Each structure stands twice: as C-alpha cells, then as structure tokens.
Structure 1
Amino acid sequence: MGSIVGKAMDENMKKNQQFMMKNQEIMLVRQIHMQNQMRQRMAAMQMARARDMFQWFGAFYAVFAPIAIAGAKRNKGLLAPLLPLTFILGYQYDLAYGSKMQRMRAEADRIMDDEKWLLDLPHGLPNLGAIEAARIKQQEEDRLNRPNDIFL
C-alpha cells in the first residue's frame, strides 16, 4: 500500500517539477523579449535625439556660414558669438518647454516602425540555450580558476 502512495507522489512531484521548469522557461523568454523591447525603445529615442541635434546644427551652419563669410570683410567679430548662443538658447527652450519630446517620440516611433533593422542585436536575440551554455562555461571557468588549498 505504501509503495502505491509513494509511487503516485513521485509521479506528481515529477509532473510538478516539469511544470515548474516549463513555467520558468516561459518566464525567462518573456523577460528576454521585454528587455529587448525596452532596449529597442531606448535606442530609438537616442537615435531620434541625435537626428534632431543634427537638424539643429545643420540649421545653425546654414545661417552662420554666409554671415561669417560676409563678416570677414568688415571684422564685426563681437557679434558672431551671439548667433550660436541664440541657437543653443532656442534648442534648450524647445527641449524644456516646447514640443521637442513629442517630436522625438514620433521620430522614435517612426524608427521602430520603418527602420527596425537598425535596432537588431548582433547575433540576434539571446535564447535559453545560449544563456545556459554561457552560465555553464562561466561555472567551469570559476571551478578551474579557484585556488587549491594544497598549494597554500
């Protein structure tokens, strides 16, 4: 009688262990995908900000270059620093109080929709097998690099 109960308990325990392992695997895969999506969104925001900065600097140089060329004839060098400071002030005002964040978010959305290939990881998305292999390799290296008490 006892062996029948013990056998049933063993089977239930094995099923429970398999269920827990499968559940952990699903949770890990979901976590990997969530982290990847967050990384992609952060990268898209950084790219959108960099593109916006380029547009501002492009506008600055488009305005400043003709003025600098014309000003070289008259030597009005004291007024030249006001132009870049005005652009910097305008940029900072737009970032702090304007619609810059909405424009950057829209650019990030466009990057994620139209240029998703820019956000891909080298060697693709990590999977459970690759993570487990790296963990085992690290354990093996730690075991081999551990100092022995014999030589101390």
Structure 2
Amino acid sequence: MGGYISKTVNENMKSNQELMVEINRITIERQIQMQNQMRERMVALQIARTRELLNWFGTFYTVAAAGMLTGFQRSRKPGVLVPLLPLTFILGYQIDMAYGNKLKRIKHEAENIIKFESELLDLPMHLPTLSTIDMARQVQHDKLIMHSAEPPLYY
C-alpha cells in the first residue's frame, strides 16, 4: 500500500537533498573565492599606495623648508638652502598627481603586484576551505557545550 510511490518519493527527495548540498557547497566555495580575490585586489592597491608614498614622502621637507628659509634669511649662507632640492621632488609629485597620470601608474603597479608578486597577497595558512570552516565551527560549538552549565538549544 503505497510502498512503490513512497519509495520513489524518498529516492527523489534524497537525490534532491544531495543536489542541494552540492549546489550550496559550490556557492559557498565561489563566494569564498570571490571574497579572496577582492581582498587580494585591495591589498595590492594598498601596497601600491604605500610604495608611492614611500617614494615621495615629503611632509618632513615642508616643515624643514620653512626652517631653512628662516635660517638663510638670518645667516645669508647658501648652504642652508641645499636641502630644498627634495622639495622640488615634492612639487613634481603634486603636479603629477594633479595634472599627470599618477593614479594610472598606481593602478598599473597594483596590477603588476597581482600578476608578478602574488605571493605577497597570500593569506597566512592559505585560503580557508569549507571543511576547515565547518571544523572550526564544530570546535567552537564543542567548547560552548563543555563550558556551559546547560547545553544550547540549537545545533
């Protein structure tokens, strides 16, 4: 009485559940991969910005220039103005940023980091997988059960 039909329904339900689990696994893996690629791009942009700022770091020179000009006015020694040379580079940097293609070069440097120095973008202990995430969740859940007076209502 209904044995054949319920058997077929159970088989279909089981195959549908397996399919849903596989689809969810693939979706999660894609999301993890997409998030990692976005993180790599952000890190590459940050490295490129840092390199640019390191090459052109000039805040110190602005303050020093005011001191050097004051010192030159008082002493009239031209040697006091020699450190103004780096200020020329700062001015060049600002002009390049405002009217040149500095941002395009920064983007190009970030792309080069992604292409040729991708090891700088690697996560410590590599990319997490679905199994490592589930294992960490299970460990956390086990600790919660072991350290609580009453077990949680969920699992």
Aligned to 1:44: 44
* 1:10 to 1:93, Cα distance in 2 relative to 1, 3 A: farther
Gaps in structure 2 of 5+ consecutive residues: none
Q: 1:146: how far off?
A: 2.4
C-alpha offsets along residues 56-83 of structure 1, whole Å, 9 cap, x if unaligned? Answer: 128x87xx8xxx6xx69839979x89x7
Distance 2:76 2:146 in 1: 73
Q: Distance in 2 between matches of 1:99 and 1:54?
A: 18
In structure 2, the residue matched to 1:112 is 114
Residue 148 of structure 2 corresponds to which residue in structure 1?
Answer: 146
Secondary structure of the corresponding residue to residue 124 of structure 1: coil
**Post-superposition shift, 1:101?**
2.2
Q: Which residue of structure 1 lines up, in the alignment, with residue 102 of structure 2?
A: 100
Greater relative contact order (Cα 8 A, min sep 6): structure 1 or 2? Answer: 1
What TM-score, normalized by structure 1, do the two folds share? 0.74
RMSD of aligned C-alpha atoms?
3.6
Q: In the aligned structure 2, how far is the partner of 1:105 from the partner of 1:2?
A: 66
C-alpha change, 1:132 and 1:91, in structure 2 (3 Å) is: same
- The 5 Å alignment of 1:5-84 reads 5-57=5-57, 74=77
Structure 1 CA distance for aligned equivalents of residues 147 and 30 of structure 2: 34
CA distance in 1, matches of 2:93, 2:138: 50
- What secondary structure does 2:127 align onto? coil
Say which SS state the counterpart of residue 29 (structure 2) adopts. Answer: helix
Moved over 4 A (4+): 75-78, 89-98
CA distance in 2, matches of 1:16, 1:96: 59
Displacement of 1:123 after TM fit?
1.2
1:133 counterpart = 2:102: no
Q: Report percent identity of matched pairs.
A: 43
Shift of residue 3 of structure 1? 1.2
Change (3 A) 1:96 1:11: farther
